[in-house]
Amino acid sequence: MLIVTLEIVGAIFVQQLERQNINTFKSQITLPPYVNTSLAEQLVRSDSEAANRRIRVILQDVNAPNNAQIQVIDSKGTIRGTNEINAQAVVGQKTTDSSIKSVIYNTRSAGIDRTTVDSDDNHYYMTVKPIIRSQDAGSNNNTPVGVIYMRASLDGVYSNINTITLIYVFAALIAIALGLVLAIVISRAITRPIDEMKKQTLRIARGDYSGQVHVYGNDELGQLATAVNNLSVRVEEAQESTESERRRLDSVMSHMTDGVLATDRRGNVIIINEMANDFLNLEDDDAVGKSVLDILDIRKEYSLRDLLEDPDEIILDFSTEGNDLILQAYFSLIQRESGFISGLVCVLHDVTEQQKIDQDRKQFVSNVSHELRTPLTSVRSYVEALSDGAWQDPEVAPKFLKVTQEETDRMIRMINDLLTLSRMDSGTQKMNLELVNLNELFNYVLDRFDMILTSNDKKSDEDKPQKSYSIKRNFTKRDIWVEIDTDRFTQVLDNIMNNAIKYSPDGGVITCRLVETHNNVIISISDQGLGIPRADQAHIFDRFYRVDKARSRAQGGTGLGLAISREVVQMLGGRIWVDSHEGRGSTFYITLPYQPYEEDDLWDENND
């Protein structure tokens, strides 16, 4: 830009300089007015030779600048005089210059004034002016009687112009050199902070916020550098905040007990946490990029538009033969302030236990209703029979009253068992713990059942025949002291022994064992009955659950004994389970926490 500007300025300057010098040169070679008058008078004289001599004198008296060549030509085109001493031979000859002829013959009445260049690149100034003679004084009718031809060299003028031009070019070069140096210095002063800011922004883009831009001043670039430094700090703070929020969100999602999936606006999964992978049995990142409809296996029932237009909860059943899994899926929209929907969030909540509890509650209500309806129906039937006159029959009335009493006792036992379970569920059931010799307690319970066996053997033949059985004991010889609630644990042993007696065949053997391990004591009671099918073993401790419902009800069971036994054992810190094979009997195991005591410790503790 500087070079172009100087070239334009130089061109205008040289052009104006040339015009000014030529105008000055023209003013210098202009002949005085009296010369024109004198020449006009000589051209109209009849004595041409005398006139020519006078013309030559006039021209020689003229101070022609720059060795200008002057010729006087009359109206017929004849050269009448010249100021060049060596060219006097041309006087009297006809001129051949077309410019002179055009002025003589009025084609250019104002004359010709121009510069020319010969073949040797020499510049000349040439002028042809008409010589006017006034016919009458004061008359405006002027008639040209000839022309004055003047030709002067302009080499001196152009030499001066060239000299000045060279001076200007030299000065321009110096100015350009200084301008370039200044431009480089200024550009570096501008580009250096800009380059530093560019590098800093590139570092920011790569995530490196450690650098700072040097501030060179308080101008616009300095303010911009300060703004970039502030931007670097703000971006670093925002990045740290975002990263912290992301880590917090990842931590929350990783430790959530619910599964979380997030999708884009096309329904493809972009985020999934570990719990969702566990629920859906997926490996890491297997679900990313796949449709949520395929991941949740709901494409047949729902479309992506259904989920977007009406995001609601869906129950998903992923239960298999060996594992129950029911999930409740909640859908919500990821929506911007403008209303644009950019995706979906799906929360998977495990409701397997809740569904199981609801199912158990419904089953429990159904079982209670059924269990109470049967004895109530029986009692009502017998009471109606008695009301209809059966009470007067001395043989039928006692039997009806006995059945009514047995069904009433059965309902009372059932209600008492339900109240016990309710207190255990609510945590209001208190345990009266005491240190008990488990060997003696177990023997005491078994002795009672032996007495029942003995009393059954002494009944008369008229009585209903009773089933016979025998009890085999296999106890450790060492006394085992455990801290238990004697009444509740006796109830547990009674429940298991009653079941063993009920389901043992006539003449069967019930084997009772008591052994100790390092930290536990194990009680087992085995019978030789029909056994429990494998499918029923997982539910044998459920409330009102019976393997053979008809036989259990006929034997007077409520279906709550084993459920109470499990609750009692768990409250004592133990565990109860069953091992059974169909056709080979069942074995119930009870483990209790056990801390061995020395006799001295027991004695000191009892004294305390």
CATH code of the domain in which 565 resides: 3.30.565.10
Label residue 149 by pLDDT band (50, 70, 90): confident
pLDDT, one tens digit per residue, over 178-208 is 888 888 888 888 888 888 888 888 888 887 8
Determine the Cα–Cα distance for residues 64 and 25; give it in Å rounded to an integer. 12
Predicted confidence at residue 52, as pLDDT, reads 82
Residue 603 in this model has a pLDDT that exceeds 50: no
Q: Where are the beta strands (DSSP E) in 465-553?
A: 469-475, 481-485, 508-516, 520-526
Predicted confidence at residue 514, as pLDDT, reads 92
Determine the Cα–Cα distance for residues 410 and 322; give it in Å rounded to an integer. 37
Sign of the Cα pseudo-torsion (186, 190, 195, 196, in order): positive
pTM of the full structure: 0.44
pLDDT, one tens digit per residue, over 387-433 is 877 777 777 788 778 778 877 877 777 777 777 777 777 767 777 88
Final residue of a structural domain among 161, 180, 197: 161
Sign of the Cα pseudo-torsion (554, 556, 559, 561, in order): negative
Q: Which domain holds residue 585?
A: 431-457+468-593
Is residue 287 in a domain? Answer: no
Is residue 254 in a domain? Answer: no
Is residue 192 in a domain? Answer: no
Q: What percent of the chain has pLDDT over 90?
A: 4
Q: Are 329 and 314 in contact (CB under 8 A)?
A: yes
Is residue 321 in a domain? Answer: no
pLDDT, one tens digit per residue, over 47-90 is 888 888 888 888 877 776 667 788 888 888 888 888 877 778 88
Final residue of a structural domain among 111, 143, 161: 161
3-state helix/strand/coil string of 249-271: HHHHHHCCCCEEEEECCCCEEEE
User: Could you tell me the CATH number of the domain that includes residue 43?
Assistant: 3.30.450.20
Predicted confidence at residue 187, as pLDDT, reads 84
pLDDT, one tens digit per residue, over 576-590 is 999 988 888 899 999
Question: 431 forms bridges with which residues in the sheet?
Answer: none
Length of the chain as a residue count: 608
Predicted confidence at residue 462, as pLDDT, reads 47
Is residue 194 in a domain? Answer: no
Residue 108 in this model has a pLDDT that exceeds 60: no
Label residue 271 by pLDDT band (50, 70, 90): confident
Predicted confidence at residue 137, as pLDDT, reads 42
Is residue 148 in a domain? Answer: yes
Q: Which residue intervals of 388-436 are DSSP H helices? A: 396-426
Sign of the Cα pseudo-torsion (523, 525, 531, 537, in order): negative
Q: Structurally, how many domains does the chain consist of?
A: 2
Residue 467 in this model has a pLDDT that exceeds 70: no
Predicted confidence at residue 460, as pLDDT, reads 41
Residue 338 in this model has a pLDDT that exceeds 70: yes
Predicted confidence at residue 292, as pLDDT, reads 84
**Nearest Cα residue to 332 out of 298, 308, 304, 301:** 308
Give me the mean pLDDT over the 2-29 stretch.
Answer: 82
Radius of gyration of the chain (CA): 66
Burial class (CB in 10 A: 0-12, 13-18, 19+), 287: buried
Which is it for strands 469-475 and 508-516: parallel, antiparallel or unpaired? Answer: parallel
Give me the mean pLDDT over the 298-324 stretch.
Answer: 80
Determine the Cα–Cα distance for residues 484 and 437; give it in Å rounded to an integer. 10
Determine the Cα–Cα distance for residues 23 and 157; give it in Å rounded to an integer. 11
Is residue 72 in a domain? Answer: yes
Final residue of a structural domain among 112, 146, 161: 161
CA 530 to chain centroid, in Å, comes to 64
Predicted confidence at residue 589, as pLDDT, reads 93
Residue environment code for 316-340, b if the CB has 16+ CB neighbours within 10 A, otherwise e: bebeeeeeebbbbbebeeeeeeeee
Residue 546 in this model has a pLDDT that exceeds 80: no
Q: Are 90 and 62 in contact (CB under 8 A)?
A: no
Predicted confidence at residue 36, as pLDDT, reads 79
418-425 long-range contacts (CB < 8 A, ≥24 apart) are 418/368, 418/560, 420/564, 421/543, 421/560, 421/563, 421/564, 421/567, 424/564, 424/567, 424/568, 424/571, 425/567
Is residue 491 in a domain? Answer: yes
Residue 122 in this model has a pLDDT that exceeds 60: yes
Label residue 136 by pLDDT band (50, 70, 90): very low
Q: Are 6 and 175 in contact (CB under 8 A)?
A: yes
Mean pLDDT of the chain: 79
Predicted confidence at residue 64, as pLDDT, reads 66
